[in-house]
Amino acid sequence: MKIGLIAMSGVRAYNEELLRFGLTLPGFVERSKVIASLPSLSLLTLAALTAPEVQVEYWEIKDLIDQDGLPTDFDLVAISSFSAQIYDAYQIADRCRKRGIAVVMGGLHVTSLPEEAREHCTSIVVGEGEELWPVVVEDFLNDRLQDSYVQPPGHTFELANSPIPRYELLEVSKYNRLTVQTSRGCPHRCDFCASSILLTSKYCVKPVHKVIAEIRKIKEIWKQPFIEFADDNSFVLRHHYKELLRQLVGERISWFTEADISIAEDRDLLHLMRESGCRQVLIGLESPRGAGLDGIELKRNWKLKKQPDYEAAIKIIQSHGITVNGCFILGLDGDTEEVFDSIYRFVERTGLYDVQITVLTPFPGTPLYDRFKREGRILEDQAWHKCTLFDVNYYPKLMTVETLEKGLVDLAKKIYATSFIRERRKRFFRILRQEGLMLAAQADFQKEGT
Ligand code: B12
Ligand code: SF4
């Protein structure tokens, strides 16, 4: 019995003009290369939950041409899905089924649109995979595979029961980073968010000893790894994370994660982050302007409330020797075309080490998608291949589609200009020197080519 685990991989944009003009800028390409090589943590996790008598093979497919290299002797194929490459994934599924191979699909896109996915596979899995996958495999082995396996509403998988992903299936030299998930979910609810809040409404953390065990497992195949925490919002449970960070200190790794701006309020936390090897934290700032932020966090308008702290918070975090990758979403409902310049000036003022600019994207399953659909603002419905974060597929409220597209490219040219990047980085290292934090830090950053 052989199962093929198939990950759709790579970073993409649909609009060729954007690709040509925007995404070929040196600063952008540099960062894309780092992230584009991440493996699929979901499939490595499923591999660890597969009955030991079953052989598993892990494959990454970047585009449809790649699939020609797929073996044809699988008994079952499991495909993980995000929206941007779902049509490629469906074609692979259709082709496998034509050859008589059973196909199971799961992941964020399938969880949001199970009925659509059902057309292309033998079986769909809706929700977190950890508890459902072993049942799928057992049913398949007993020749009773069902059409769908659905996580009961409101039920959340306890990360305390998670297995160690089978990192050893990877050809590790292909990767710049490997991922470890330390938590799932987020206490906020942004209307555009298409991350793990689509899987769970609860914020859950993985016990410290489990995270450490995963990191040690990675170290068996990569002595001094760079780890990316595949979390949506680390550090929400401060006490828990401080314990994790204390234990991470001895592991001597470099790591990156995603968090919210409130981490700047806790200097102990920042100190521990730096001590334990944190190189960068990615923060969804979304907009430097209150007008853009108003209403995007649906529970308490949290992002709007935090906006006055943004500049000071970035300075505090970076002065602890941790670089901030500030993410901005262009085309929010409160955005006029002034936003492009506001973002540039904000980046200049704060000296953000890295910046990520994307356009507002109505992913299926999000409140934003439902609202835009109601308001008749989706340009091309079901154009999931445009869910890349770079392609505009809706009518912005206070500017035209063309203004938004051009604004993205023009801002990218300015933000990722080599001279501007160099200036921001110099500033970061100057602050490190002032704070007496130079030491090994600069050597590390230079080694990483950042
Ligand atoms: C690592 C990562 C990547 C990596 C690796 C992707 C991969 N093949 O796994 C790379 C860099 C390649 C990548 C690329 C892209 N990414 Co990305 N990425 C992430 C990130 C940071 C972590 C994902 C992760 O590992 N989660 C942990 C795993 C365990 O969770 P999971 O995948 O949801 O899996 C669970 C369930 O869904 C389920 N499951 C999943 N698959 C399957 C399959 C089966 C058979 C079963 C039974 C169950 C099952 O079981 C798992 C355990 O419970 C998230 C943001 C975040 N913080 O989560 C964005 C994120 C997933 N990416 C996103 C996007 C938009 C992209 C790109 C389109 C960017 C671009 N312009 O190219 C591409 C698309 C690539 C593609 N294949 O389509 C969006 C996806 C939104 C969506 N709903 O589609 C996210 C949520 C970021 C965001 N904030 O919007 N990404
Ligand atoms: S803060 Fe980030 S992870 Fe949390 S809901 Fe908003 S976008 Fe999603």
Please give the distance, rounded to the nearest whole angstrom, from the Cα atom of residue 347 to the centre of ligand 2.
21
Q: One-letter amino acid identity for 132?
A: L
Percent helix, strand and coil across the chain, each rounded to 5? Answer: 45, 15, 40
Please give the pLDDT value at position 450: 42
| Residue nearest atom 23 of ligand 1, based on CA coordinates | 230
CA 284 to ligand 2 center in whole angstroms:
7
The residue to mutate among 108, 184, 188, 306, having the most atoms of ligand 2 within 8 angstroms of its beta carbon, is: 188
Q: Which domains does the chain have, with CATH numbers?
A: 2-13+39-150 (3.40.50.280), 177-360+396-447 (3.80.30.20)
Distance separating alpha carbons of residues 307 and 305, to the nearest angstrom:
6
pLDDT tens digit string along 401-421?
Answer: 999 999 999 999 999 999 999
Write down the pLDDT at residue 110. 98
| Ligand that lies nearest to the alpha carbon of residue 259, given by its number in the listed order | 2
Residue with tokens 């999000």: 366
In 260-353 the beta strands, taken as DSSP E runs, fall at: 278-286, 323-330
**Mean pLDDT in order along the chain per 10 residues (450 residues):** 92 70 58 71 98 95 73 93 94 94 98 98 98 98 98 95 97 93 98 96 97 98 95 98 97 96 98 96 98 98 98 96 97 97 98 95 98 98 95 98 95 93 94 72 51
Say if residues 295 and 397 touch (Cβ distance below 8 Å): no
Cα(25)–Cα(124) distance, rounded to whole angstroms?
39
Residue with the smallest CA separation from ligand 1 atom 22 is 230
Strand order in the sheet with 2-8: 55-61, 2-8, 76-81, 102-107, 123-126, 148-150
Q: How far apart are CA 150 and CA 231, in angstroms?
A: 23
Predicted confidence at residue 449, as pLDDT, reads 45
pLDDT tens digits, one per residue of 133-180:
999 999 999 999 999 999 999 999 999 999 999 999 999 999 999 999
Whole-number Å distance between alpha carbons of 379 and 392: 8
CA distances from 293 to 154, 261, 298, 422 (A): 29, 14, 11, 29
Chain-centroid distance, C-alpha 406: 25
Establish whether residue 190 lines the binding site of ligand 2, counting it when its CB lies within 6 angstroms of any ligand atom.
yes
Token pair, residue 400, equals 């035209």
Count Cα atoms within 13 angstroms, Cβ side, for 67. 17
| Predicted TM-score (pTM) of this structure | 0.95
Q: What is the phi/psi pair of residue 278, to 5°?
A: -70, 125
> Given phi > 0 = left and psi -120 to 50 = alpha, else beta, which region is 357?
beta
State both tokens at 123.
Answer: 């079986």
